[in-house]
Amino acid sequence: MAQNRATGTGNTSAGTAERENIFLFVPNLIGYSRIVLALASLYYMPLHPRTCSLLYSVSCLLDALDGFAARAYEQSTRFGAVLDMVTDRCTTACLLVFLASAFPRWSIVFQGLISLDLASHYMHMYATLTMGGSGQSHKKVDESRSWILKQYYSNNKVLFTFCALNELFFIALYLLSFSSPILSPSLLQPAPSTLQPGSPAAPKPSMLFTSPWSAGAMEMARANKMDSTVPWILAAVSFPVMAGKQFINLVQLVKASKWLAEGDLEQRRKLGLPRPLPVKKAL
């Protein structure tokens, strides 16, 4: 009977049991839509800041909806949890890559943020699966192991606030890369230089497109004239939370490393390592 339930090929007292398709669970379908929206935002990212920001923001907001759907439909799965985390890490990394190219002097900072984000979450999930068991969620953190991570993962409102404002800060920087001549000097009128004709430091939109009246050229022209007050406000408001999120990532990386090291020590103890050195007999 148990085997029939697992395969979904036998008859039970309640009728024929159907095999569930994990990939078509509601929260996972929402996860796929997040990927589509994120890819669309990357397509528009170089020249359509408003369109990109809208698509990227909707993709991030759906992150909360898939968790709600998983609880509402009782469809929480390990595949869904990994899909959610991988989507988060990849979308944030892609945005930071763009910011590294938009602000080359700060590229090492954005590269460091990408590395910290990927490393901390990978180490945390691997430590959870290895030390906590394959059935334990990475969001279930023992308070004795880390009070900060316990508060971060146990309260959905706290988790959503940190993740949302973290992304908001980077979106604000993205908008400022199009609108603020303070951060993007190329938006200023180029001073006379010795550059040869045909290779200006800041080419006009008409030089980037076949038609200067194309949608991309007009969008760039509007973006360059956009009032930068709103992105500056968004960046200022979200910066403290973004900095806190990076600190949490650092704590997560350190705690996961120590947890794995504890497991290694325990494993070596069970194996009797290090073995005592043989005593040399005196001649």
Q: Could you list the active site residues?
A: 88
Tell me the chain's radius of gyration from C-alpha atoms: 25
Residue 31 to residues 27, 42, 79, 82, 164, Cα–Cα distance (Å)? 6, 17, 11, 10, 17
CB of 245 closer than 8 Å to CB of 161: no
CB of 174 closer than 8 Å to CB of 102: yes
- Euclidean distance between CA atoms 100 and 107, whole angstroms: 4
- Euclidean distance between CA atoms 62 and 137, whole angstroms: 20
- Euclidean distance between CA atoms 62 and 43, whole angstroms: 19
| Residue among 85, 164, 123 at smallest CA distance from 251 | 123
| Residue among 37, 53, 41 at smallest CA distance from 226 | 53
